[in-house]
Amino acid sequence: MGLSQSAALDAVRNIMQSARAAELPRLERIHAAMQPIGPLRKSQVEVPIDAPNVMRRLAEKADTNLLPLVVKTFSQVLKIDGYYTASSPDRSTAWNYFQRNRMNAGQTGIHRSALQYGASYATVLPGSQGPVSKGYSPRQMTAVYSDPTWDEWPMLALDIDGQMLRLFDEEKVYYIGAQNPVRGTFQDDSVLGASANQFHYIESRSHDAGICPVVRWRDRMLLDGEEQFGIVEPLMTVQARINETVFGQLVAQFFAAFKQKYVLGWIPKSEAEELRMGASDIWYFADGKSEGMEVGSLPETDLTRYISAKESAMLDMAAQGQLPAQNLGIPALSNISAETLAALEAGKEREADEIGTSLGESWEQWFRLCSHLDGQAEAAADYTSEVRWKDATARSFAQTVDGLGKLAQMLGLPSEILWEKVPTLTTQDIERAKVIRTREQARQGLAGLGFAAGAARQDPTVQQAVNQRADAG
């Protein structure tokens, strides 16, 4: 049956005023922190009200936002490159859903949103050419769960896109129009308090999924449902400290990086005399005019203290984010071996592995939903499936291949399994290699049969036995 028109409008209003209103301030704060200095984000540095304009310009130049780099570092090592089930040990046919929906590239947005905000979503609906999927950030979609921690599917999900809203439940998709554009940023607070009368019901369409067809990705599956911080929010305080330190360095560099001379008890008669004295290495004064006058210089500001303070804050960010220091631009060792580089990135690899475990569970859920909508009951019920992550570990290519070869020789592992561990090889490369090997084996088998037949014709004993059998027949 689904929801009635009035019930659908009430559900939209309740989500906007409760769940959406609760999570929106946090999402907007994180979104602004990832933006460059501009209309969406002002400088975080505190500048006095009566400060000169040059200091305000320095405050904008002091912005050294490393948060996008942190997200990018983990996003680049989290790439799905295969999907396997018990019934398809080579590669599941459900992988076609992934490629048909252009998720080879689309997974980047889903992963980055989960890393940045702590959650991301994707809808899966029936289509003429198979299941159709679209990803969403939590700024575009709000999902409501009975138990946010363990429920696999939401009760309701609301997609907000300007003047068009889509409400998903277990039976239908409800299309709701808004009188005024509802922006993803929700800068207009009046929208959050909108009544159902400000929305109008357009239509509903059945999706026949039997569940709310929305999959949620989380960077971590924690025991408390609202604990979805992502990897950006815990680092925002350290980022503010880095910006303030860089601002102090720029101010000192602009105003006090060089020695400044001073003269007490004397004033130049003209601007020309002032310029001449300022450019002189030695100053001379006429007799009788130097009494009580004092000449000296102020020492320059030591910028190394600011540089050390900045590196200290960046090391704090690296430690909290489990990132190698060199990834943030901190001077590190040079001319190091691949093993040393792998050891330096061990913390990042462990963090990426933990995040990948959580994201992988959601991808398996996504594949099962696609199979369900495509009528593949066996694949939809296969909970032994798993995704394959592309290997981006820093290690020597030659040593990796040598180790894989020894595994095949000493332990007898099938080479097809070891191919998956070879860096830079994609799922398509492996499938193409398997086809080529199968063809080569078939060709060798046929050549062997032909050789045996030719040998039989040339061997008199074999030929005599064949003739005798033919005569007896």
Q: What's phi and psi for 141, nearest 5 deg?
A: -135, 140
Identify the pLDDT of residue 169.
94
Identify the pLDDT of residue 195.
46
211-240 average pLDDT score: 86
Q: What's phi and psi for 287, nearest 5 deg?
A: -60, 145
Would the pLDDT of 56 be above 60?
Answer: yes
Would the pLDDT of 168 be above 60?
Answer: yes
Identify the pLDDT of residue 186.
41
Identify the pLDDT of residue 92.
64
Evaluate whether 80 touches 97 at the Cβ level (below 8 Å): no
Q: Which one-letter amino acid corresponds to residue 447?
A: A
Cβ-based neighbours of 178, under 8 Å, separated by 6 or more: 162, 163, 164, 165, 191, 194, 198, 199
- The residue with greater pLDDT, 166 or 92, is 166
Distances (CA, A) of 358 to 114, 217, 363: 10, 8, 9
Task: Tell me the DSSP string of 431-455.
Answer: HHHHHHHHHHHHHHHHHHHHHHHHH
Which of 1-10, 383-392, 458-467 has the highest average model confidence (pLDDT)?
Answer: 1-10
Share of the chain above pLDDT 90, in %: 36
Report the candidate in 372, 370, 247, 374 with the shortest Cα–Cα distance to residue 313: 247
Whole-angstrom Cα distance, residue 58 to residue 232?
Answer: 25
Q: What's phi and psi for 204, nearest 5 deg?
A: -135, 150
Share of the chain above pLDDT 70, in %: 74
**How many CB atoms are located within 10 Å of the residue 72 CB?**
12
Q: Which tokens belong to 331? A: 């001077």
- The residue with greater pLDDT, 224 or 375, is 375
Identify the pLDDT of residue 6.
92
pLDDT band at 144 (very low <50, low <70, confident <90, very high): very high
Would the pLDDT of 193 be above 70?
Answer: no
- Lowest mean pLDDT of 77-91, 212-226, 276-290, name the range: 276-290
Report the candidate in 205, 200, 159, 154 with the shortest Cα–Cα distance to residue 5: 200
Evaluate whether 363 touches 80 at the Cβ level (below 8 Å): yes
Whole-angstrom Cα distance, residue 221 to residue 223?
Answer: 7
Q: Report the alpha-carbon angle 321-325-327, nearest 5.
A: 85
Residue 372 CA from chain centroid, whole number: 28
- The residue with greater pLDDT, 335 or 190, is 335
Evaluate whether 232 touches 71 at the Cβ level (below 8 Å): yes
Q: What is the largest CA-CA distance in the chain?
A: 145
Beta-bridge partners for 143: 157
- The residue with greater pLDDT, 360 or 334, is 360
Whole-angstrom Cα distance, residue 81 to residue 85?
Answer: 14
Whole-angstrom Cα distance, residue 254 to residue 248?
Answer: 10
Could you report the per-residue pLDDT of 11-55, keeping only the tens digit for each? 999 999 899 999 999 999 999 999 888 776 777 788 878 778 888
Residues recorded for the chain: 473
365-374 average pLDDT score: 94
Whole-angstrom Cα distance, residue 348 to residue 367?
Answer: 28
Would the pLDDT of 290 be above 90?
Answer: no
Task: Tell me the DSSP string of 361-414.
Answer: HHHHHHHHHHHHHTT-HHHHT-TT-EEEEPP-----HHHHHHHHHHHHHHH---
261-273 average pLDDT score: 72
Average pLDDT, the chain: 81
Where are the chain's structural domains? Answer: 5-54+77-230, 259-299
Cβ-based neighbours of 202, under 8 Å, separated by 6 or more: 175, 176, 177
**How many CB atoms are located within 10 Å of the residue 450 CB?**
10
Could you report the per-residue pLDDT of 76-106, keeping only the tens digit for each? 989 998 888 766 655 567 889 999 999 999 9
Identify the pLDDT of residue 454.
59
Q: What's phi and psi for 23, nearest 5 deg?
A: -90, -15
Would the pLDDT of 279 be above 50?
Answer: yes
Identify the pLDDT of residue 155.
95
Q: Which tokens belong to 435? A: 């086809």
Would the pLDDT of 317 be above 50?
Answer: yes
pLDDT band at 192 (very low <50, low <70, confident <90, very high): very low
pLDDT band at 233 (very low <50, low <70, confident <90, very high): very high
Evaluate whether 116 touches 412 at the Cβ level (below 8 Å): no
Could you report the per-residue pLDDT of 348-364, keeping only the tens digit for each? 888 999 999 999 999 99
Would the pLDDT of 122 be above 80?
Answer: yes
Task: Tell me the DSSP string of 296-331.
Answer: EEEPPP-THHHHHHHHHHHHHHHHHHT--GGGGT--
Would the pLDDT of 296 be above 80?
Answer: no
